[in-house]
Amino acid sequence: MDHRLSKTTLFLHWMIAINVIGLLIVGLIMHENKIYSLYPIHKSVGMLILPLALFRVYWRIKEKWPAPIHQLSQKWIRLSHISHISLLSLTLLMPITGMLMSIFSGRGLSLFSVPLIMAQQNSEGEFIELSKTWAEITHQMHFLFSDMLLFILSAHITAALIHHFFLKDNVLRRIFRI
Ligand code: HEM
Ligand code: HEM
Would you say residue 27 lies in a domain? yes
Distance CA 119, CA 121 (A): 6
In a domain, 96, yes or no: yes
Give, for all 178 residues of the chain, the pLDDT tens digit. Answer: 457 899 999 999 999 999 999 999 999 999 999 999 999 999 999 999 999 999 999 999 999 998 888 777 889 899 999 999 999 999 999 999 999 999 999 999 999 999 999 999 999 999 999 999 999 999 999 999 999 999 999 999 999 999 999 999 999 999 998 5
In a domain, 1, yes or no: no
What range does the domain containing 70 cover? Answer: 7-174
Ligand nearest to the CA of 94: 2
- Between the CA of 153 and the centroid of ligand 1 the distance, in Å, is 9
- Sign of the Cα torsion 172, 152, 17, 81 reads positive
Residue 169 to residues 80, 107, 165, 177: CA-CA distances in angstroms? Answer: 15, 49, 8, 14
Number of other CB atoms surrounding residue 81 within 10 Å = 11
Assigned domain for 103 exists: yes
- Domain CATH number, residue 76: 1.20.950
Number of domains in the chain: 1
Residue 172 Cα to ligand 1 midpoint, Å, equals: 9
